Amino acid sequence: MQVFGLLGNPVGHSLSPPMHEAAYEALDIDARYVTFEPDRDAAAAAVEAAATLGIAGLNVTIPFKRDVLDAVEPDGVARRVGAVNTIDLSEGTPRGYNTDVAGVERSLAYHDVSIDGRDAVVVGAGGAGRAAAFALADAGASVHIANRTVERAASLAADVPGATAGGLETLSRVEDAQILVNATSVGMDPDDGETPVPEGNLHAGLAVLDAVYAPIETRLLREAAAVGATTIDGAWMLLFQGVEAFERWTGRAAPVDAMNEALRAELA
Ligand code: NAP
């Protein structure tokens, strides 16, 4: 039996175990997915211990995504983003990936949203914002990053090819964009009456991906749907980062529908 797992602190709320175990069941793979909660200063030791114990792969979440960079050989994307959320331990050297980037790109592709040549606005410049900005720029979009703390947006934009940055007042750029990603925590429970983007900036020509997945239907997505925009909830991003991790670990096409069903059953 293979063992996969999640490193985080805390990890009690994680939706990854049911999502991955649904994939093992669908493809008849003899594997389990378990959660690990090491001390906050023990990221590298945890990766080493997992390798020693023969664990096949790890996902990594808050607060360890940056800390594990030094404990793995990151691929180009993970190195540029500066964070690892998936580790393959099947060979000698632990290999680090950032599947949040693919999670953004594949969520949009699944909903037939083209990225190449489009204008995109990312609101937020934390971990999710970094992943979204790289995903969009690498797929050919012109990216503008709007963040409450302008310096953080500017620092991210300096790393992302062609990106521009500004404060939340620059959200008016959404009016001329075709893609909007909310990568802030605004709209999350218990503040689910809030929205990160003024309703008046939304329009029918926009595809809106909200990284927030609790609640599934945020005020931003409700207001976007009301003006005729394409809406993509945060569970899609969560799903596709897991799909990408599964495919990296197993080399097999993931059973997307089974994983999606399991994830949405947890979020219902
Ligand atoms: P993070 O690194 O802590 O970044 C938080 C971001 O939200 C920062 O840009 C912060 O701005 C902004 N923000 C917080 N409160 C705000 C407010 N009241 N007004 C305006 N901006 C505000 O967090 P993260 O890891 O990027 O996560 C952000 C969201 O994405 C969370 O809801 C998380 O659950 C979600 N997420 C989803 C997925 C998925 O797979 N669906 C993956 C990762 C994260 P400042 O820089 O000014 O503080």
Q: How far is the CA of 195 from the centre of ligand 1 (A)?
A: 12
Q: What is the pLDDT along the chain (268 residues), one digit of tens a residue?
A: 999 999 999 998 899 999 999 999 999 999 999 999 999 999 999 999 999 999 999 999 999 999 999 999 999 999 999 999 999 999 889 999 999 999 999 999 999 999 999 999 999 999 999 999 999 999 999 999 999 999 999 999 999 999 999 999 999 999 999 999 999 999 998 887 899 999 999 999 999 999 999 999 999 999 999 999 999 999 999 999 999 999 999 999 999 999 999 999 999 8
Task: Specify the pLDDT at position 185.
Answer: 95
Nearest atom in ligand 1 to the alpha carbon of residue 213 is 41
pLDDT of residue 12: 86
> β-strand 119-123 against 95-97: which pairing, if any?
unpaired
pLDDT of residue 182: 98
Ligand 1 pocket test, candidate residues 148, 171, 259, most atoms within 8 A of CB: 148
How many CB atoms lie under 10 A from the CB of residue 18? 15
How much is the pLDDT for 13? 81
Tell me what pLDDT residue 90 has: 94
Q: Which residues line ligand 1 (CB under 6 A)?
A: 100, 103, 124-129, 147-149, 152, 183-186, 188, 196, 211-213, 234, 237-238, 241
**Cα–Cα distances in Å, from 134 out to 81, 100, 102, 138, 180?**
7, 10, 10, 6, 14
SS3 192: coil
Looking at residue 93, its pLDDT comes to 93
pLDDT at 192: 79
CA distances to 28, 128, 131 from 1, in Å:
12, 33, 32
C-alpha 184 – ligand 1 centre gap (Å): 3
- How far apart are the C-alpha atoms of 129 and 250, rounded to whole Å? 28
Give pLDDT, residue 190. Answer: 85
Of the candidates 48, 25, 19, the residue with the CA atom closest to the CA atom of residue 36: 48
pLDDT in tens, 161-194: 999 999 999 999 999 999 999 999 999 988 878 9
Q: Which of 46, 43, 37 is nearest to 12 (CA)?
A: 37
User: In this structure, are residues 154 and 105 in contact, taking their beta carbons and an 8 Å threshold?
Assistant: no
**What is the 47 CA–ligand 1 centroid distance (Å)?**
26
Residues labelled as active-site residues: 65
Tokens at residue 58, please?
């790890």
Residue nearest to atom 44 of ligand 1 (CA): 128
Q: How far is CA 204 from CA 15, 52, 100, 198, 220, in A?
A: 32, 53, 27, 15, 14
- Domains recognised in the chain with CATH numbers: 2-97+236-267 (3.40.50.10860), 102-232 (3.40.50.720)
pTM: 0.96
